[in-house]
Structure 1
Amino acid sequence: MPVAELLDIDREYREKSISGQLPKISPAKLNPENVAWLPILHTERGGRHYTALFSNTARAHELNTTQDWVVIFRDDAQSHGSWTVITSQFGKLQGSRIVRGREDECREYYNAQRIFHQPVAGQSPYPEIPSMWEDGHGRVTPN
């Protein structure tokens, strides 16, 4: 599956989880109080069905990442698979959401998403800092 699709599912899951829009299930493992705490998302992309939920593994509990690691399952008639999306702790992607084991593809994805400023004649190349370009500042004027 394309990294962009998996990261979009991760984004949808995390946004809906934070806003309380998802039903919660009570995981059978690592849940001694039998509390329904685990939000679950069922979604589709291009006819492909996915289920997403936070990781409820012993390792996720040990590292306190049960609200960070998102496991995505593809479970439709055409194919099956699973991927884990995490927040990178190292390297150039530190702080970015990545699909574990597909770091190079994630780096390419994020590089392609960057918006580069395109110069436009008569406009600041960085419109978010307009003050330095007002009243003729930064322009060559005859002496």
Structure 2
Amino acid sequence: MNVGNLKLYDLVRQDLHLPDNKALEFVTAIGEFSERHQARQDELLATKAELQSTKSELKSEMLAIKSELKQDIHAIATKVEHLEIHMNTRMASKVDLADAKSDLKSHYGWLTIVQFIAIVGTLFTLMRFALVR
């Protein structure tokens, strides 16, 4: 018996007025109960090896997730880069279209003047041919 059990034994024997054998049985039963309870509690505790194993598993899972996350971020960055290039290409083609439109407008202006001159020249030639006969 340890000191705690002896105190409990004296307490049960003197204050509860139990005979020595009953007090001893009571203290023994409580001691056995507390030992079983402590053993169950100890079984629930993880060992150092189990903690190390869990730690290494978690580290490997974290590294795998980190790797997947890096790949996902790289894929998204690549898609964004392609989108930016596509948008810049489309914007450049819009600028080119605006330049082509202004060039066509100036060409249409010159074409109109050339057609006017050709029509006037044709009319002048027809009038000259009609007057000569």
Q: Same fold (TM over 0.5)?
A: no
For the aligned pair, the TM-score class normalised by the smaller chain equals under 0.3
Q: Would you tell me which structure has more strand in proportion to its own residues?
A: 1
Task: Give the structure with higher Rg (CA).
Answer: 2
Q: Would you tell me which structure has more helix in proportion to its own residues?
A: 2
Q: Which has the higher contact order (CA 8 A, sep 6+)?
A: 1
